[in-house]
Structure 1
Amino acid sequence: MTLQSQPQIAGSAEGMVLKLARPISFWGGVDPTTGRISDPRHPDHNSEIAGRILVLPGMIGSSSSSYIMLELMAIRRAPAALVLAVPDAILGLGVVVAREMDYGSIPVVVLPGDQQAALTTGQRARISDDGGIEILR
């Protein structure tokens, strides 16, 4: 099965899906030294986002989230890709700055929430440069 997302930042990635149960703020919600969800109130508390295809139903805004993404990319603890329900310039900014600083880059794509339903935690998925999200068996 392949879903078609809209790339915000093109790129390819493959990994295990981690689909968050609720929106999150990276500032205060993700530990920038471990790549784990640190907010004890979040249902996915302590889940590791590093190397995952991170599916986000929404973001709880803080402009500092871009800094957390940059830090995660600098220490290689960032997700393999971000799949957002709605466009988010803040996380994307962290990815763009990381790319400019030679920390690498990850794809950031938009896939509406109703289509995100096809993705579940534990699946393996591949994202292509054109935004195709292939669910691997």
Structure 2
Amino acid sequence: MILKGRAISKGSGRGELLVSPAPISFLSGVDPETGIVIEKGHPLEGESVAGRVLAFPYGKGSTVGSYVIYALAQNGRAPAAIINTEAEAIIAVGAIIAGIPMIDSLPADLSDLPGGSIVTVDGDTGELACDDAT
């Protein structure tokens, strides 16, 4: 299955799809040293974003969140790619400066994406490819 969205940050990333129904604040919501979601009560609390394709509706919180995404990349704990329902500046800037492929505006709801499956995000074309085996 291939879904076409909008390209935000160039590159290609492949990994296990981690889907959140809730927005994410990277400032105080994700530990930049470990890549673990630490926001209390968040649906992904305790999950690692490292090396996974992270899908969530949009970012929230301070613009410092962009630098937390960059720190994740510097620490080898960044997501392999990011998918948003609608990209906003904090997440888009973070993905761009960190070199993380990012897309948004897919024709399907994020909750309909096959969480746990292996997917590829193409930040050049805006495409999400899900393995047939999932």
Give me the TM-score of the superposition, normalised by structure 1: 0.87
Residues 91-102 of structure 1: pairs in structure 2 closer than 5 A: 91-98=91-98
Is the contact made by 2:3 and 2:106 (CA closer than 8 Å) also made in structure 1? Answer: no
User: Structure 2 residue aligned with 1:111, among 102, 105, 119?
Assistant: 105
Residues 52 and 79 in structure 2, CA contact (< 8 A), matched pair in contact too: yes
For 2:56 and 2:49, locate their aligned partners in 1 and report how far apart those are by CA, in whole Å. 11
Maintained 8 Å contact 1:57/1:113: no
Establish whether residue 126 from structure 1 lines up as the match of residue 120 from structure 2.
yes
Residue 26 of structure 1: aligned partner: 26
SS of the aligned residue for 1:43 comes to coil
Please provide the CA RMSD for this pair: 1.6
Distance (whole Å) between structure 2 residues aligned to residue 114 and residue 56 of structure 1: 13
Q: CA deviation at 1:53?
A: 0.5
Shift of the 96–77 alpha-carbon distance from structure 1 to 2, 3 Å rule, reads: same
More helix by share: 1
What TM-score, normalized by structure 2, do the two folds share?
A: 0.89
Cα offset, 1:87, TM superposition: 1.7
Deviates more, 1:89-98 or 1:63-72: 89-98
| Corresponding residue number in structure 1 for 2:62 | 62
Q: How many residues align?
A: 131
Kindly state the Cα deviation for residue 113 of structure 1 after the two structures are TM-superposed: 7.7
Q: In structure 2, what residue type is equivalent to 1:5?
A: G
* Aligned residue identity for 2:104: V
Which secondary structure state, in structure 2, belongs to the residue aligned with residue 82 of structure 1?
strand
Gaps of 5+ in 1: 99-104
Say which SS state the counterpart of residue 14 (structure 1) adopts. Answer: strand
